[in-house]
Amino acid sequence: MDSLLDFTSKVVVITGAAQGFGQLLAESLAERGAKLVLGDINEAKVKKVADALSAKGVDAIALKCDVSKNDNCKAMVDMAVEKFGRVDIAVNNAGISQPFLPLHEIDESLMDQQFAVNVKGVQFGMRHQITQMLKQGGGNILNVSSRAGIGAAASLGAYGAAKHAVIGLTKTGAVEYARHNIRINAICPSFALTPMVTDVADDGLQTQMSKIVPMKRLGEPEEVVVMMVMMLSPANTYLTGQCISVDGGVSAA
């Protein structure tokens, strides 16, 4: 296998792994030799993902993880260390969307929900992942932000604010821990056809959304996961503090 894509024996923790980017990334890294610890708030569904991979001979385990709870995020790292001895790669992918609302209609409960999952969930994950990586001499963290985290997010103000915060956590962590051989980056997808989009946007709305994309279509989840794999490559050793857009050209327009 090409060294750029060789994840043999790398221990990978992925949150939000029951569907969407998380599930596809787990499957992609499994094909490349990784050992997986998968978490999701949907315990039955994430265990189904892990069981399917295990049936193919992959070292994969799953547990329920509500990332808004600090102890759940710690449990994922603890499980990885107990079963596999270390955490080489961590992907803080779990997140939630919000209803389309103008900024003045966003109430406190929506802000609290967004920051509990999309911000605290990333910080809780990083806290325990970094603690373990410091002990073992390095590691690689990828946070899933959004194009909404690097620009305006009309009608998605709470979500956009939370995803901007993910960028802040990513850059701060990258600077603080670079000297410890811990790389921290973020990926910033635009609208891609994961359940987070398809569950709230019908075909008509998806068509409208695609009009702002220079490529005139929404992204396929696999197109985002390809970049996630490249950013996580064990051969990619000098990239840190970067927030990479995968958006069909939206951020360039």
Mean pLDDT of the chain: 94
Calculated CA dihedral for residues 159, 164, 167, 172, nearest 10 degrees: -130
Active-site residue flag, 159:
yes
| Residue 171: C-alpha distances to residues 23, 79, 143, 183, 253 (Å) | 26, 27, 11, 10, 24
Q: Give the CA radius of gyration of the chain.
A: 17
- Residues 6+ away with beta carbon under 8 Å from 58: 30, 34, 35, 36
Instruction: Give per-residue pLDDT as tens, 80-123.
Output: 999 999 999 999 999 999 999 999 999 999 999 999 999 999 99
Catalytic choice (159, 188, 189, 193): 159
Residue pair 96/150 in contact (Cβ under 8 Å)? The answer is no
Calculated CA dihedral for residues 73, 76, 81, 84, nearest 10 degrees: -150
pTM of the predicted model over 0.85: yes
Residue pair 194/221 in contact (Cβ under 8 Å)? The answer is yes
The pLDDT assigned to 200 comes to: 65
Tell me the C-alpha distance between 83 and 26, whole Å: 17
DSSP string spanning 45-111?
Answer: HHHHHHHHHHTTT--EEEEE--TTSHHHHHHHHHHHHHHHS--SEEEE--------B-GGG--HHHH
* Per-residue pLDDT band at 252 (split at 50, 70, 90): confident
Tell me the C-alpha distance between 86 and 194, whole Å: 30
Tell me the C-alpha distance between 98 and 10, whole Å: 34
Instruction: Give per-residue pLDDT as tens, 52-86.
Output: 999 999 999 999 999 999 999 999 999 999 999 99
